[in-house]
Structure 1
Amino acid sequence: MNSSSALQILLHLSDSSLPVGRFAHSFGLEPLAMEGLIEGEEELLEYLITNLRDCFAPLDGVAVSWSYRHFSEGNFRALHDLDNLVTCRKIIPSTRLASKYCGRELIRILSEISISMELNSFTDQISRQKKGGNLSVVIGAASAAAGIGIRECVVMEMRSAVSSLLSAAVRLGLLSALSAQRLLWQSAGIIEEAAEISLGLDQEAMATWFPDADAYSLRHRFAFGRNFGS
Structure 2
Amino acid sequence: MTDNALSLFQLCDSNFPTGSFSHSFGLETYIQKDIVQDPETFSEWLKVYLHEQLAYADGLAARLVYEALDQDDLEKIWELDRILTVQNLARESRDGTQRMGDRMLNIAESIYEIPILSTYRQRLRNKQSFGHSAIVFTMVGHYLQVEKETTILYYLYSTLVALVQNAVRAIPLGQTAGQKVIYSFQKELKQATDKIMHLDEMDFGVVSPGLELSQMQHERVGIRIFSS
TM-score by length of 1: 0.92
Which residue of 1 is the match for residue 119 of structure 2?
Answer: 121
Q: Which has the larger displacement, 127-136 or 29-38? A: 127-136
- Map 1:1-230 to 2 at 5 A: 4-129=2-127, 131-230=129-228
> Is contact 1:71-1:145 (8 Å) kept?
no
Change (3 A) 1:226 1:111: same
Structure 2: stretches of 5+ with no match in the other structure: none
The 3-state SS of whatever aligns with 2:130 is: coil
CA distance in 1, matches of 2:194, 2:157: 13
Change (3 A) 1:126 1:45: same
What displacement does 1:130 show? 5.8
CA distance in 2, matches of 1:11, 1:212: 31
The 3-state SS of whatever aligns with 1:181 is: helix
What displacement does 1:210 show? 2.4
CA distance in 1, matches of 2:213, 2:203: 22
Tell me the alpha carbon deviations over residues 169-201 of structure 1, each in whole angstroms, 9 at most, x when there is no partner: 100133211011011011100001111122222
> Is contact 1:26-1:168 (8 Å) kept?
yes
What displacement does 1:47 show? 0.7
What displacement does 1:229 show? 0.9
CA distance in 1, matches of 2:36, 2:115: 46
Letter in 1 for 2:122: D
CA distance in 2, matches of 1:66, 1:201: 10
Letter in 1 for 2:79: D
Tell me the alpha carbon deviations over residues 78-113 of structure 1, each in whole angstroms, 9 at most, x when there is no partner: 110111111122122111111111111111112212
CA distance in 1, matches of 2:177, 2:79: 40
Change (3 A) 1:89 1:203: farther
What displacement does 1:10 show? 1.2
> Is contact 2:37-2:171 (8 Å) kept?
no
CA distance in 1, matches of 2:144, 2:122: 17
What displacement does 1:35 show? 1.3
CA distance in 1, matches of 2:128, 2:220: 26
TM-score by length of 2: 0.92
Q: Which has the larger displacement, 121-130 or 85-94? A: 121-130
What displacement does 1:5 show? 4.2
CA distance in 2, matches of 1:108, 1:28: 26
Alpha-carbon RMSD across the aligned residues, in angstroms, is 1.8
CA distance in 1, matches of 2:138, 2:194: 16
> Is contact 1:66-1:140 (8 Å) kept?
no
What displacement does 1:115 show? 3.6
Letter in 1 for 2:25: F
